[in-house]
Each structure stands twice: as structure tokens, then as C-alpha cells.
A and B are shown apart, each in its own frame.
Chain A
Amino acid sequence: DSGVTQTPKHLITATGQRVTLRCSPRSGDLSVYWYQQSLDQGLQFLIQYYNGEERAKGNILERFSAQQFPDLHSELNLSSLELGDSALYFCASSGQGYTDTQYFGPGTRLTVL
């Protein structure tokens, strides 16, 4: 158990819908990262938050947004869902430095039908 929690574990929805994925970081970690893992794109970095502020952005679509709340949990919002958004979405957390290990949550498997 990494100490990072993600809910829900599985999510099935239809095209055009909007979903919210939730992540709670390890105790003491201020950084939260979101990743998308799909069969054709591999593991893609989406976005990083540090203590409530956006710090780094990767290949995140405009239809996707994220935020980190004062209690440090984070949410990833996916809207206008398409079939290609079906993937495993990971949240990870770490300490402050670039040398700090990112610990991953169990992931949320999103299926868009």
C-alpha cells in the first residue's frame, strides 16, 4: 500500500459525459501528479499541483481540468468524454524536491462507451 488513495476504482460512462476522479496523497506529501495510461499512448504525464498551485503541465487536453484543495486532496475532471479517453488514470504524490519519489495510487479505470 503506497498510502495514496484514489476513488473510484472503476468508472463506466458514456460519450459526452463528465466525470470526476479523486485522489488523496500520502500523509505529508504536498505534490500531486496525474497520469493517463492507455494502450496506445503509454504512461502520459497530465498535470502537477504543489500545495494547491499548478506547477507543471503535460499533455492534458482542454476538456480535462484538475485542482488541489486546501486539505491537499486533488480532483481530475474529465468532460465531453470520448471513446479515446478510456484509460487507467493514476494519481501520484511526492515531497517537494525533484529527487523525491512519486508514490502511485491504485488508479481509476475509466471506460467510455
Chain B
Amino acid sequence: AQKITQTQPGMFVQEKEAVTLDCTYDTSDPSYGLFWYKQPSSGEMIFLIYQGSYDQQNATEGRYSLNFQKARKSANLVISASQLGDSAMYFCAMREGDTGGFKTIFGAGTRLFVKA
């Protein structure tokens, strides 16, 4: 069965420093996609970055990068040069490549606090 684990309920980081948010997953399907979303206090869910199970290189999107270690089943989000606006809840999600439908599961989330 699918499973996503985010072990850090809360994290603090100093402004302008880098931070890594952990995510591990479990699946028996060789085809899957991993996603990170940001949810600020306003409530909307904002897509950040995607990594496919067959991608050879780690995904990057601006200040966001995904440290994908397939053998360890981890997909950690790295935010470089943190900004005050990065303070938010961050969710890791996985969708398996089941042709019958694309059930997506989310981790419990990590709340990031950026200190000035």
C-alpha cells in the first residue's frame, strides 16, 4: 500500500540559509510521481516541484530542489536561501502509475518557520 512519511512536524531556519524537509515513501509500483506542495496560512495549495520515478536527475525549480534517492525511497525538498515568505506548511505527495486511476496520498506535512 502507498505510504508517505514526513517525520518533521516543525522546522526552524534562519533567513537566507538552506533547509531540507524530509519525505520518505513506500510503494511497490515501479511507476510513480512525487510532488511537493506549499500551503501558506492563507490556505491555498501551491505546487512546488515534481519528480518522476524514472527521472535520472534530481528536479529543480528555482530555489527548490528535490533530493531523490530511489533506493532509500526518499524525496527530500531542499529550499535554498530561505525567505520570510517561505514560512508555511509543506506537503509531500505521491501518485502511483495505476492506469485505473490516480489516487494521490499526502504526508502529514512539515511546518517551516523562517526567522529573520
Contacts and interface: CB of A to CB of B under 8 A. Distances in A.
Q: Which of A31, A99, A102, A106 has the most CB of B within 10 A?
A: A99
Interface string A26-46: 000001010000000011010
Contacts, number: 67
Contacts of A42: 106-109
B104 A104 contact: no
B35 A58 contact: no
B68 interface: no
Interface residues of B, number: 27
Contacts of A56: 98, 100-103
Interface of A: 2, 31, 33, 42-43, 45, 48, 50, 55-58, 88, 90, 92, 94, 98-99, 101-104, 106-107, 109
Interface of B: 31-33, 35, 37, 43-47, 50, 52, 91, 95-98, 100-109
